[in-house]
Amino acid sequence: MNLTISGHHLEVTPALREYVLTKLERVTRHFDQVVDVTVLLTVEKLKEKERRQKAEVTLHVKGRDIFVEQSHEDLYAAIDQLMDKLDRQVVRHKDRLQNHHHESPKRQNASVL
C-alpha cells in the first residue's frame, strides 16, 4: 500500500501523521486490497472560524477510486469524521464486490441432470 500524507497551508507534524495512520488501520482491517492512499490536510483561509480545517482522502482500490472530504473547526475532529465516512464507503464497496446472488432451485436441478 502506497501512502502519501501532505499538507496545504500547514506542516504535517509527526503526531498528525501518526494519528492519520492509526485511523487508517481501521479501514485496512475491513478491506486489505487497498493499492494507494492519498491524504491531504488543509487549512483554508476563510474569515469564519468554523469549518476551516479540511481533510481529504483518495483511496484507490482494485477497480475503483473512493474520494471523501470533511471539514471541521478542529483538524483531529475532521480526520475522525473523514475516517468514519471512508470506513462506511469501503464496507459498502466490499459488500458490492461479494456475490450475493444464489442460484435458483430450477437451475440447480438442471445442472444435476
CATH architecture observed for domain 2-97: 2-Layer Sandwich (3.30)
* pLDDT one-digit tens code per residue, 26-38: 888 878 788 899 9
Residue 51 has a pLDDT of 66
Domain segments of the chain as ranges: 2-97
Q: Is the pLDDT higher at 74 or at 63?
A: 74
Rounded-to-integer distance, Cα 41 and Cα 32, Å:
24
pLDDT attached to residue 106: 67
> Each residue of 85-112: pLDDT tens digit?
999 999 888 888 876 666 666 666 666 5
Residues 6+ apart with CB under 8 A from 36: 1, 2, 4, 58, 59, 60
For the whole model, what pTM was predicted?
A: 0.79
Distance of CA 108 to the CA centre of its chain: 39
